[in-house]
Amino acid sequence: MPSDLSTRVTAPHDPRGRLISIFVGAVLLPSLALSYVSIEFVPQLAKANKEMGFRRAANTLADIEKDLARAAQARATEAAQAVGWERLLDGREHVIAIALETAGFDGHIFETLHLEGASALRRGWTADARSIQSPRDILEGLEPIPPRTEDAMPWVDSAGKVSGVLRFRFTPEFIRERLIPDYFAHDFPNPDQSIVVRVTGEDGSVIYETAPTRDNRFEVDRPLETPSLRGLRLALRYRDLSIEQDVRRWEMGTLALIGFIDLMLGAGLFLAYSNVQREAHLSRLKSDFVANVSHELKTPLALIRLFAETLELGRVPTEDKARQYYRVINKESQRLTQLINNILDFSRIEAGRKEYRFAPTNVGRIVSEVLEAYRFQIEQQGFELTVEVEPDLPDVEADSEALGQALLNLVNNAIKYSRDTKALALAVRGSGDRVLISVTDRGIGVPKAEQRKIFEKFYRGEASLVHETKGSGLGLSLVEHIMEAHGGSVEIDSAPGRGSTFTLVLPRSQKKKE
């Protein structure tokens, strides 16, 4: 932070400092914080999301395996019950096959199917069938035996007691051709088809696929551990976007959102900055204004006093001189009146109390009145005056006093800002449904860059030629306000060194604003 900025932030008594504090607190710091979050945390969160996505997919596969094992057990139980416990206990394969076929099952769906008596259970282990919740409960009841290649489940007798263990193993054909397709066709919960599951055999051949896939980019896979299903693998992928793509999309979306917020904050930063600049500019203009006005009040007052005292003491040599002194007093008091009127009008406008009294007004008459007030000054200073008023102009709805005030300000400026070439031209003419009053001088002119600014309150031209003449910077802002109140405008056509034309544009049938 530059030292100038840091002193301003810690100097809240200074209005600029206050604004800069607001700007730093409300815009700069949040935007830095957001940028930090986006750089530091978003990638971390994305990584965590990705890991979670993979974990969720792996869990889904584990659930599918459990479901498949449960489906296998249900089929085995059904078949075993059809065969009956005596035959199962007896264990002769062809007897069991015949019993299966008789009951309507394919005799070759099992590689093994037999029942072990209660001896297979741990000594003292008894359980009610209803209390058995998962295959794990059953395995807990079994004597510890080396890993088996068969599935095991409790055999529940007609009294509802667990009286043995049913062991079975389906043939690979049954698993491939019936169990797996049936499970995925009827029991697999995937309503929106958002995931694709593939089952592959030991040799990698595809046994089943929930949807056709063009490539082999499956996200997670899992070897199946359940004895009947051992040797098979399950693989999963998401149909639309891979976990990686999904997380990248989230990451991009979040970064874009943060970027957008940063951009908005940047725009806020720019607005706050330009506001600070404006405020600073205005406060400088205000202090210049006080200095200018004090000077403008002092000079005419000093002149008036000097000439009045001289006259009072009778120290005037000739009658002519005396008349000249009276004129000076008159002119200077006119200047004072004009300045004070401007200030009063300005304060009324600022307070929203300026009222206009509109009435049909003859524009030509207003021009004559203003010229009358300034005639002496114009002639005295050697101005070449031209006045052209188009005849037969209709009256316009206007506040004659305000309009006179606006015109007076323009004439006053034309005189103030003329140097060697002293020429003043006033023209009144109609143009379509408007009446135009223009005041032209051949004075110092206004550079293009300043032609909007000079209508702002307190603004005075930057050129040193302007500062040779004192002023308050209020005149043109009043002119603009008055013209807007009349539903019109003020236009400028000017170039430095060439002179200026200010034109008051009045609509003939204007809408009253106040």
The residues that touch ligand ADP, with contacts defined as CB under 6 A, are: 409, 413-414, 417, 441, 443-446, 454, 459-461, 466, 471-477, 500
The minimum distance between CB 314 and ligand ADP, in angstroms, equals: 37
Three-class SS state of 206: strand
Cβ-based neighbours of 269, under 8 Å, separated by 6 or more = 23, 27, 28, 31
User: Which residue type is seen at 495?
Assistant: A
The minimum distance between CB 460 and ligand ADP, in angstroms, equals: 4
Q: Of 228 and 413, which has the nearer Cβ to ligand ADP?
A: 413
Q: Of 383 and 417, which has the nearer Cβ to ligand ADP?
A: 417
The minimum distance between CB 379 and ligand ADP, in angstroms, equals: 19
Cα(415)–Cα(213) distance, integer angstroms: 89
The minimum distance between CB 499 and ligand ADP, in angstroms, equals: 7
Burial zone of 44 (CB within 10 Å; 0-12 exposed, 13-18 middle, 19+ buried)? exposed
Q: Of 101 and 350, which has the nearer Cβ to ligand ADP?
A: 350
Q: Of 45 and 373, which has the nearer Cβ to ligand ADP?
A: 373
Cβ-based neighbours of 116, under 8 Å, separated by 6 or more = 164, 165, 166, 167
Q: Of 438 and 472, which has the nearer Cβ to ligand ADP?
A: 472
The minimum distance between CB 42 and ligand ADP, in angstroms, equals: 53
The minimum distance between CB 400 and ligand ADP, in angstroms, equals: 21
The minimum distance between CB 498 and ligand ADP, in angstroms, equals: 10
Cα(58)–Cα(308) distance, integer angstroms: 105
Q: Of 383 and 459, which has the nearer Cβ to ligand ADP?
A: 459
**Scanning the structure block, which residue is given the tokens 């200077």?**
332
Q: For residue 195, list its beta bridge partners.
A: 238
Q: Of 165 and 444, which has the nearer Cβ to ligand ADP?
A: 444
Nearest to 411 by CA among 446, 374, 447: 374
Cβ-based neighbours of 164, under 8 Å, separated by 6 or more = 85, 89, 115, 116, 117, 118, 120, 121, 154, 155
